[in-house]
Structure 1
Amino acid sequence: MTKMKRISVLLVCFLILFNVANSQELRITSNNRYFEDSAGEPFFWLGDTAWELFHKLDREEATFYLKTRAKQGFTVIQAVVLAERDGVRSPNANGDLPFHDLDPTKPNEAYFSHVDFIIDEANKHGLTMGILPTWGDKVFSKHPGAGPIIFNAANAETYGRFLGNRYRNKNLVWILGGDRLVANNEVAQIWDAMARGLDEGDQGSHLITYHPRGFSSSSDVLDNPAWLDFNMYQSGHEKRFLEVYRFAKKDLGLRPQKPTVDGEPAYEDIPVKFWEYMDFKSGEFADQVDDSGNIKDKTIFPEGFFSGYDVRVLAYWDMLAGAAGFTYGNNAVWQMQKEGETFVIPTLTDWKKALRRPGAESMQYFKRFFKQIDFTKIVSDQELILSDNPENEDQIRAAIANDGSYVLVYLAKPREVKLDLTEMTGERLQGFWYNPRNGKRKTIPKLSTSSPLILQPPTNELEDDWVLLIQDRDKIKDDK
C-alpha cells in the first residue's frame, strides 16, 4: 500500500470514528415522547447531577469522575457553567473566574478552556452533557442565592450566543433555569433572550429545556415558549415515596406533547426535607462534623437520609409513568464535596466515595432493564392492576407497550399482585422477575395466559423491590 493510500485509509477511519463519537446528538422521537440520537437509535436518558463539575474539579478529578460514571452506564451529565457555590466570584480549580469584571459579555478564555476540556472528555466517553449556562441565582428570583444577579436580556442573549457558537459541535443539551421559578415577565424575557442566543450560536443543533425549583415542572413556570423542546421537572427532596408519577402524567397530558424528564429527584444521602432543619448559615454544624468534614450526628435530621432504595423507587415510578428518562443524584457529588471542605448541605462522605454508593451502582441495572425492551413503547396503565393499590409506599406502578407486546409492573414493596392481561397480544407469554438491586432475573415457569393473573415476587423482605416483565413471545424478536 502506498503512503498516500495509507493516509487516505487513516483519514476515512478517523472520519468514521468522528461520526460515531458525534452520533449521539439528541433529537425528539416521532411520537414526541422520548429521545433518539442522530442515527435514529433510542437514547436512554440516565443523568447524574454534577452541578459543580466545571467549578470544583481539576482535569484529573473531572476525568476520574466521567470515566466512573461512563462505566456505570450513565448517559447524561448535568453540570452548571456558572455554579451555585458563588460560581462567578469564586475561582475554579485552576484559579480562574468565568468573566472579567463580572460581565457576561467578557468571558475569560482560561475558564472556558477548562469547560472545553471537560465537555470533550465527557463526549469522548460517550456521555452527553446537560449544560446549565448559569444557576438561577444569577437572575432575579424570589429565592436568592449566592448570586450575584448579573443578567439582563441584552447580556443574556450575548452570553447564550457565545456558548452556542463555542459548543456548536459538541454532544449536549442546554438546560436553562437552575432551581428557580420565573419571578416575573422581565425574568421570562431574560431566559427567552438566552435561549435565542444559544439557538443563534449553535444554529439550532441542540435541544433546550428548563430546570425549575423543587416540586414543579418547566411546564408550570413557562408558557410553552418555542425554544422549550422538552419538559423537565424537579420532584425534589420533600419525602420518601414522593408521587413523582404525577409530574409525568401532567406533562404528558399537555398539547403539543413533549418528552419529560425528572431532572432532580431526591438525592441519595441527602437529608429528607433538609431545609426544615437548617438555615444555611456558615459554620452552622461546626460541632457536628467529623475529621473529614461530614456530618457525624445524623439525628439532627429526624426524618433521616434518602437511601439507594429510595432512589430506585423514584426511578422506576418515573419510567413506568412515561418519563423519557431519569436523573440520579447524590448529595456529595452535586457539591463535589472534598474532604475537609465546608458543605452546603450536610454530607455523609466525600464525592469520590459517593460515586460508589448503592443507589448509584443500581442505576446500571435500571438502564440495563429498559434497554432490553423497546422502552419507547411504554404507556402508563394503572388499570392493569386489579389488586388494592393505595397511593403510598404500597403503590404498584404498571405500564403496557403501545402495541400490547409487553406489560411492566414495579413493586416498591413485595406483595401479591393481580393483573388484567386482556390488552396483551399473543397466545404465548413469557415473563420474569427482575431484581433491580443486582440485575438478576428469575424466570416465571409455565406462565398462564389467563386473566386475571396472580403472582407473588420471589422474596418478601421490607425493601426488596421487584420488576415484573411479561412479554408476547412472538414479538420479542421485533423489540430487539
Structure 2
Amino acid sequence: MKISFSFWIFQLCLIQTLFAQQITGPIRIHPNQRYFMDAEGQPFFWTADTAWELFHRLNQEETKMYFTKRADQGFNVIQAVVLAEENGLNDPNTNGDKPFLDEQYTQPNEAYFRHVDQVMDMALERGLHIALLPTWGDKVALDNWGQGPVIFDEASAYAYGKWIGNRYRNQKNLIWVLGGDRNPRKNSNDRAIWNEMARGIMEQQNPENRQLMTFHPQPTAPGGSSNWFHSEDWLDFNMHQTGHCPNQATYQKIHHDLALNPAKPTIDAEPMYEEHPKCFDAKNQGYSEATDIRKIMYWNVFAGAAGQTYGCHAVWQMFDLDKKPVNAPLKPWHQSLDLEAANQMKHLKKLMISRPYFERIPDQSMIVEQQLDDETYVSATRDKKGSYGFFYFPDGKSISINLENLTGTAFKVTWFDPRTGVEFPGNGGSPLSKETSLPIRTPSSGRGNDWVLIVDSID
C-alpha cells in the first residue's frame, strides 16, 4: 500500500502536538507572583473554556470529542463542576450514577467518581488542565437560580474537602476552584464553610505535587475572590466573574487585584459568554458576538491578567435537545464548539507568549489622551525593560501614544489582527522614532474592527 507524503507530515505534526502538550505536573505561580508557569518553568498562559456540566451531562465519547476540539483550538484549561449546578445531586450522569449513595450526602458513590477520574485522565492525555470545582456554590437558593447542592456546613465541608483532596492529590492536571457563582453572604458562616473545605483539601496535598487553589464568585466589587479570601493561605490566585453584559470596564477589577498585598495573579474566569443574551435580555438587546468577547479578553490581559477564560452559552450547560435550556441557548453544545471567538483565543495566547512574558506589566501612561471607560477604551502593556509595547484598539479609533517608556530611539511597527492572528508591517514598513505624542490610525475602524499595535525596539 502506498502511503502519501502528506500522511507522514500529518503524523509528524500529530506527534509534535502531543509532545508539546505533555503535562509533567500542576501549574505553578511564577516568582514574580503575577503569572503562571508550567512544571518546567515555562510560561503558562491560562486559556480556559467553561464546561460547568462536563462531568454531569457528557458521556465518555462526547467528552473525548469535546476535549480534542478544545485542545486543537489552543485551550489548556477546562473549568468543570463535580457536584453540578443543574440538579447535579438528583439527576444522574449519563452512566446513571448520582454523586452520593445516601440522602445525607455523606457517602460518595464510587461509580460516579470513577467517571470523574476517567474524565480527568482523558484531559491529561490531551494536555488539558482541569479547573475543578468540588461543588457548585449554593448554600441557600438565591433567586431560584440553579439547583446546586445546599448541603454543606463547616464540618461536612471539611470532610468532603479532605475526601476529594485525597482522591486527587496526585493528579498532575488539576487546579482547585472553590465557590461556584455564589458570594459569601453577610452575617453568615459561608466564609467559614469555604475555609473548612479548603483546609480539608490542603491537608491532603502532596508537597511534591502541589496543586493551586482559588475561588469563583458572582460579579461583585471592587474585586472578586479577593473581597473575602485574598489573605487566606490557601488562595493562590484571584478569580473574577465579570458578568454577561457587554462593554463593562472589566479591566478595573484586574487593576484592583494587582494593587493588593500580598501580590497574587488574577484572571477573569467568567466573562460574558459567546451567544449569550446580552444582560439576560435577548428580546431587547440580542446575543453577544465575537467582537464583544474579544474586547473583554484583550482588555483584561493587557491590564495584567494571567490569562483569560472563554465561555459559550450552550457549552457551559452542555445543552442538547433533550435538556431543559437555561436562558435560551441558540443551538446544541456540539454545534457551538466552532464559534468565532472560540477559534480566536489561540491568537491571544500566541501574541502574549511571543515576547518576554514574565516581565510584562500594564502601562496606561503610554496612552496620551484621557479616556472614558466605554467600548472604545484603548489599553496598553509592555515589558519592564521597555523592549516592546502592545496597544489594543477595540474599535479602531485614532489616538496618540507615548513611547517614552520604551528603550531605544527607533521602533519596528506591526499590526496584529485579533480575528485571524495575522501580522503585517505598519507605518509603511518604516521604523518609528521615539515621540511622546504619536498619532496612530488603525488599518480599519468601527464595530468588530479591533487591532493590536505592536511596537518593538530595534536599537
Task: Report if aligned partners of 2:56, 2:88 keep a CA contact under 8 Å in 1.
Answer: yes
> 1:241 maps to which residue?
247
The equivalent residue for 1:36 is 37
* Corresponding residue number in structure 1 for 2:273: 267
Question: What is the CA distance between 1:251 and its match in structure 2?
Answer: 0.5
Distance 1:21 1:169 in 2: 16
Gap change, CA 1:143 and 1:156, over 3 Å in 2? farther
Shift of 1:148: 4.0
Q: In the alignment, does 2:344 pair up with 1:362?
A: yes
**Structure 2 matches for 1:171-190, cutoff 5 A?**
171-183=173-185, 184-190=187-193
For the 8 Å contact 1:428–1:449, the answer to whether it is kept is yes
Consecutive aligned runs of 4 or more in structure 1 exceeding 6 Å deviation: 17-20
Distance 1:162 1:358 in 2: 40
Aligned to 2:216: 211
Q: Show CA shifts across 1:102-132 (max 9, x none).
A: 3443110110011011110111111111000
What is residue 88 of structure 1 aligned with on the other side? 89
Counterpart among 279, 284, 298 of residue 316 in structure 1: 298
Cα pair 1:24 1:128 within 8 Å, conserved: no
Query: Structure 1: how far apart are the matches of 2:257 and 2:130?
Result: 23
1:407 and 1:19 mapped to 2: Cα distance?
A: 28
Distance 1:399 1:100 in 2: 52
Seen in structure 2, the aligned counterparts of structure 1 residues 31 and 148 have a Cα distance that, compared at 3 Å, is closer
State how 1:12-51 maps to structure 2 within 5 Å: 21-51=22-52
What do the CA deviations read for 1:187-245 (whole angstroms, capped 9, x no partner)? Answer: 111111111111112335111100001245001233622211110010111x2111010
In 1, the alpha carbon distance for the partners of 2:97 and 2:278 equals 35
1:307-365 CA-partner distances (Å, limit 9, x unpaired): 11111000000000001110000000000001242201211111011110011111121
Q: Matched residues in 1 for 2:103 and 2:418: separation?
A: 47
Q: Which amino acid aligns with 2:40?
A: A
Work out the CA distance in 1 between the residues paired with 2:166 and 2:366.
49
Counterpart amino acid of 1:240? Answer: P
Aligned to 1:165, the other structure's residue is in SS state helix
Q: How does 1:281-296 map to 2 (within 5 A)?
A: none
**If the length of structure 1 is used for normalisation, what is the TM-score?**
0.86
| 1:257 aligned residue | 263
CA contact (8 A) 2:368 2:401 kept: yes
Give the 3-state SS of the residue equivalent to 2:99 in structure 1: coil
2:313 aligned residue (331, 336, 346): 331
The amino acid across from 1:195 in the alignment is A
My pick for the range that moved more, 426-435 or 314-323, is: 426-435
Following superposition, the deviation at residue 143 of structure 1 comes to 5.1
CA pair 439-193 structure 1, distance change in 2 beyond 3 A? same
Among 390, 399, 409, the residue aligned to 1:427: 409
Distance 1:18 1:330, change over 3 A: closer
CA distance in 1, matches of 2:456, 2:25: 29
Residue 316 of structure 2 aligns with an amino acid whose one-letter code is W
Aligned-partner residue type, residue 470 of structure 1: V
Is 2:146 the partner of 1:160? no
Which AA in structure 2 matches 1:260?
Answer: T
Moved more, 311-320 or 407-416: 407-416
Amino acid aligned to 2:434: S
Which residue in 2 is equivalent to 1:121?
122
| CA distances 1:422-479 after superposition (whole Å, capped 9, x unpaired) | 11012342120100001101112112123032222112243110011111236xxxxx
Q: Contact 2:158 / 2:197 at 8 angstroms: preserved in 1?
A: yes
The residue number in structure 1 matching 2:151 is 150
Equivalent of 1:196, from 193, 196, 199?
199
Paired residues in the alignment total 432
Mapped partners of 2:211, 2:296: distance in 1:
28
Q: Which runs of no fewer than 5 residues in structure 1 stay unpaired? A: 1-16, 278-299, 475-480
- Name the % identity: 41
Task: Report how far residue 379 of structure 1 moved.
Answer: 1.6
Q: Which amino acid aligns with 1:241?
A: N
Once residues 215 and 186 of structure 1 are traced to their aligned partners in structure 2, the CA distance between those partners, rounded to angstroms, is: 19
| Residue 442 of structure 2: aligned partner | 457
CA contact (8 A) 1:104 1:155 kept: no
Q: Does 1:436 align with 2:443?
A: no
1:367-406 alignment, distance < 5 Å: 367-387=349-369, 389-406=371-388
SS of the residue 1:357 aligns to? coil
Instruction: Pick which of 114-123 and 378-387 moved more.
Output: 378-387
* RMSD, matched Cα: 1.9
Q: Which residue of 1 aligns with 2:7?
A: none
- Label 1:332 to 1:428 Cα distance change in 2 as closer, same or farther (>3 A): same
8 Å Cα contact 2:291-2:447 kept in structure 1: no
Distance 1:141 1:406, change over 3 A: farther
Cα–Cα, structure 1 residues 409 and 90, in superposed 2: closer, same or farther, change >3 Å? same
**Which of 218, 227, 243 is residue 234 of structure 2 equivalent to?**
227
Partner of 1:76: 77
